[in-house]
Amino acid sequence: VIGRRLPRSFYGRPVLDVAPDLVGRVLVRDLPDGIRLAVRVVETEAYRQDDAASHSYRGRTARNATMFGPPGHLYVYFTYGMHHCMNVVTSGDPGASAVLIRAGEPLLGLEAMRRHRSGRPIRDLCRGPGRLCQALAVDRDLDGADLVGVGPVWVGAGRGIPPSVVVTRRIGIRRDADRPWRFVESSSPFASGPAGARAGSPTRPSRR
DNA sequence: CCATAGATCGGCT
DNA sequence: GCCGATCTATGGC
């Protein structure tokens, strides 16, 4: 179900190619105590440097430094004084870019995720970027972690039925809000946002 | 289901 | 100072 660990070349492409291609993949988190957590990615968003909504827009700082590094690393940031969000760094062309992982369908380690999320119902464990990080125990300590090779966070190729992905505007931003850079598995109850945000234009079916 | 308020703090204007 | 790539609780339909 998880499939093989995706190689560096998967991440070293333009963010608008990687973001939709991550939908349907399996995000794996190996906890220090040996427990494996895994979710099927159902929602992503693209951010790149020529984009006013992106953390990289105003140039490199201590916080966003990972976005300016090589592809295939985790960019984790802290926001609203209490939440973390996790991204995957992609090619630096055009400019520092990353994919925000917004939601996932729990596959493995549901009990541990539930503990991290105060016993919330399964549908609410990973529905939203802050919730996802809480369920997977991801915080700034994992900023910069390499997804390729040995490491506690990685992405498996996934198997089975390819997802049907639709494109919409991104959620929760004001600047450059009209860019159609959010990619959702339209039929998934584990995707975030209002119900209407699950409709959109279909992307071209990707071979997998 | 939808709308809104409050929490809470690091980063940057 | 201001404001977030957010979440939860609460109140209304």
pLDDT of residue A205: 57
Q: Which nucleotides of C are covered by protein (CB under 7 A)?
A: 4-8
- For residue range A29-49, list pLDDT tens digits in order: 999 999 999 999 999 999 999
SS3 A33: coil
Chain A 171-200 residues in 7 Å CB range of strand C: 171-174, 192
Of A167, A162, A163, the closest CA to residue A198 belongs to A167
Q: Note whether A88 and A11 are within 8 A (CB).
A: yes
pLDDT of residue A202: 86
pTM here is: 0.96
Mean pLDDT of A149-167: 94
Q: Where are the beta strands (DSSP E) in chain A?
A: 26-30, 36-47, 74-79, 83-89, 98-108, 153-156, 165-168, 182-185, 201-202
- For residue range A43-69, list pLDDT tens digits in order: 999 999 999 999 999 999 999 999 999
pLDDT of residue A108: 98
Mean of per-residue pLDDT scores for chain A: 95
Quickly count: other Cβ atoms within 10 Å of residue A81's Cβ.
5
SS3 A97: coil
Chain A 96-115 residues in 7 Å CB range of strand C: 98, 100
Of A141, A139, A142, A140, the closest CA to residue A154 belongs to A142
pLDDT of residue A151: 96
pLDDT of residue A168: 95
The strand pairing partners of A30, in sequence order, are: A36
Q: Note whether A24 and A43 are within 8 A (CB).
A: no
Q: Note whether A43 and A191 are within 8 A (CB).
A: yes
- For residue range A114-131, list pLDDT tens digits in order: 999 999 999 999 999 999
The amino acid occupying position A1 is V
Q: How far is CA A115 from CA A28, A29, A129, A169, in A?
A: 17, 15, 17, 32
| The nucleotide closest to A84 (CA, C1' atoms) | C6
The amino acid occupying position A132 is L
pLDDT of residue A78: 98
CA dihedral sign, ordered A63, A65, A66, A71: positive
Residue with nearest Cα to nucleotide C3 C1': A80
Q: What percent of chain A has pLDDT over 70?
A: 96
- For residue range A8-17, list pLDDT tens digits in order: 999 999 999 9
DSSP string, A101-112: EEEEEEEE-HHH
Q: How far apart are CA A69 and CA A49, in angstroms?
A: 13
